[in-house]
Chain A
């Protein structure tokens, strides 16, 4: 059976061109980028090229890019870094974030709350967008950081970063965004958005797992998280993951050159899938479909089903997609994002995320359009909650 992968927001395969770029740095050019000799110099050159490639994807300068182990480290670095650099000069501190952030931001904020930092979690509309008036009203004299994700992992909704950046600049507040789900899917311009900090993850844009980056605007005071050697100007010590960094650089270059084409092709497939499912599955609803969102993501509620059972039924038929957020054992926990857009717990559990990618084909979408409605019907037949009567049509 040829399996169909519609879970690109969870992770992406390493692009063949990325893999090819990385391979020399495992055993041939294996040097430590900090070494003086030729081995080291070759590794250093590769790392610096990657830095330029990532910077250029974000409209940043290379010296503003620091490589990390991934999105979670970048988010922690940004939030803890800002807070800790300012806490000793400011008696009270306040952060503004949203109710739909990734756990890497939410749990970092919650950890700071335990340390006495005040945190505002902005609500979102039923389409998953924050209200800029809410943001303005939440600002206090002691607000030192606004951290708002660019694109949401479950819905794909894209927050108005340019407007948020304007507000942050007006009030002289640090502005961080988790760009893990947007980079490579839609343009990310740190200058236009007046961002001070942005987090990136390699494996969401066809680079390997275990590498990421953080954009730190020149002049930003940030306390470092890790202490060690002089790598990356001492700011993020630890011997550079040269192959991974090279992969991230190459992936960033590919994303920049193919972004527009990919976005057009993928969003057409996504729309075809979404429209097809809504037409074929009675009572289904697309979530956050009426607002700007990433071109690859579709979140659909199929009332009367348990998303967990549908995911398994679909996987057994060779289709991979997801619901909620995965926890350590693999069991599914209810989604805080879907609850935040006003879905009842039962509706949240009945919602499925399809996320397409660079390798998704029309044939795969056609197959999905066969498999999913049949699986939903099978589940509903045995559902204790789905109404059995035929819905009335006009």
Chain B
């Protein structure tokens, strides 16, 4: 007998009572397993898959044949549909292409062109998944939206606040991308995978024969078909009728000494070591990118380190903004090991962060997220360092 049998007694399409949960389904194993988990707990669900980006756009980035195994490719949409069919719950594809372009893709490109190193996933969470998608979920009658994020939400009985916590599985934790969520958004969201490891998720997926149980993980930006985001930015800018200035220019030290030539500022990121086109005996890194002066500044590892910086658009997630500086562990990019720091809230949704020890490559455009143990205290966009 198939393992599907234990799901057969569960509520099926068409008999949904008010209070069901909408599941944001990408067609991958994580969000598909969320659907299976909720059904196992006898929660009625409706699957929603966002169509975010038309993969037929920017045809020069496409290889031969149809786009495959990428976010928003028809394959992923069909995978989500297959899962819904397999577990027999209602599923719909919803079009958020316009919102995704306005709130994620365009800001990403603009930030990049301004010499920053943007992250698209945070905006997508804050401004697409937990904004128009959550609203649509509520409009179709869902109480909440469940996603495949690895993070946890907990209601603090003392303060009455919803708190955002790191996932149990630290290697999969995605709380770094979720710091923008408001209390209202947190109160309407569920992250059922927060207590599980990736391996447990895959096992669960296999145990209910999910058709995507062994699907490989997507690691890259979902809207960049071939993973080459520099190429994507060029193609997007061309489509917008504003082709990039790919003028060569100087690579200089902080003192202004010219060390070499760059091939266009857009081809560099802060902290980059390889591909500078020259060697100096010691390892050398990109420190800053200045599109206005068409200049890339480099320096040694020491120069890349800084202790103080400011963040903006700060969201105090799990606590009210504090009146006094507080101690926290601060993470300045997804793969950064959180480091001890003091965080001081400033007026105008800003905060000043001082690391106990200088950290490498505090990069404008990335986010800094402050933790107290597992709890996400606050997050904000990095403005400037030093």
Contact = CB atoms under 8 A, between A and B. Distances in A.
Interface in B72-96: 74, 77, 90, 92-95
Contacts of A308: 94-95, 136
B95 A333 contact: yes
Given A328-B74, A331-B51, A332-B95, A315 B15 contact: no
Contacts of B46: 312, 316
B10 to A, nearest CB: 16
Interface string A351-375: 0000000000000000000000000
Most central of B92, B97, B136, B139 by chain A CB within 10 Å:
B139
A117 interface: no
Nearest to B81: A330
Interface string B48-84: 0001000000000000000000000010010000000
A290 interface: no
Contact of A331 (B90, B95, B139, B140): B95
Nearest to B52: A331
Contact of B90 (A315, A332, A382, A383): A315
Instruction: Provide the main secondary structure of the chain B interface.
Output: mixed
A92 interface: no
B51 A316 contact: no
Main secondary structure of the interface of A (DSSP, over half): loop
A384 B135 contact: yes
B141 A316 contact: yes
Contacts of B140: 309, 312-313, 316
B356 to A, nearest CB: 43
B95 A382 contact: no
A382 B90 CA distance: 22
A231 interface: no
Contacts of B95: 308, 331-333
Interface in B83-115: 90, 92-95, 97
Nearest to A314: B140
| Max count, chain A CB within 10 A of own CB: residue among B15, B77, B141 | B141
A378 B141 contact: yes
Nearest to B135: A382
B14 interface: yes
B202 interface: no
Interface residues of B, number: 19
Given A3-B14, A318-B14, A330-B77, A312 B94 contact: yes
B266 to A, nearest CB: 32
A129 to B, nearest CB: 29
Nearest to B13: A316
B206 interface: no
A1 B136 CA distance: 23
Contact of B93 (A3, A309, A318, A330): A330
Interface string B123-146: 000000000000110111100000
A329 interface: yes
Contacts of A333: 95
A9 B261 CA distance: 63
Contacts of A309: 94, 136, 139-140
Query: What interface size band does chain A fall in?
Result: 20 to 34
Contacts of B92: 312, 315, 330
Contacts of B136: 306, 308-309, 312
A379 interface: yes
Given A3-B14, A308-B95, A313 B51 contact: no
A267 B94 CA distance: 32
Contacts of A312: 46, 92, 94, 136, 140
A3 B46 CA distance: 17
B16 interface: yes
A378 B14 contact: no
Residue of A330, A379, A382 ringed by the most chain B CB atoms within 10 A = A330
B139 A379 contact: yes
A331 to B, nearest CB: 4
Interface in A1-46: 1, 3
A313 B74 contact: no
Given A328-B74, A329-B77, A382 B139 contact: yes
A1 B14 contact: yes
A384 to B, nearest CB: 7
A312 B135 CA distance: 13
B141 A329 contact: no
Interface string B200-222: 00000000000000000000000
Interface string B293-317: 0000000000000000000000000
B100 to A, nearest CB: 12
Interface string A310-324: 001101101000000
Q: Please provide the 5 A-B residue pairs with the shortest distance between their CB atoms, ordered closest to farther.
A: A331-B95, A331-B51, A330-B93, A313-B140, A309-B139
Given A331-B93, A331-B94, 5 more contacts: A1-B14, A315-B90, A329-B51, A378-B139, A383-B139
15 contacts: A3-B14, A305-B139, A309-B140, A312-B92, A313-B139, A313-B140, A315-B92, A316-B14, A316-B16, A316-B46, A318-B14, A329-B77, A330-B92, A331-B51, A378-B139
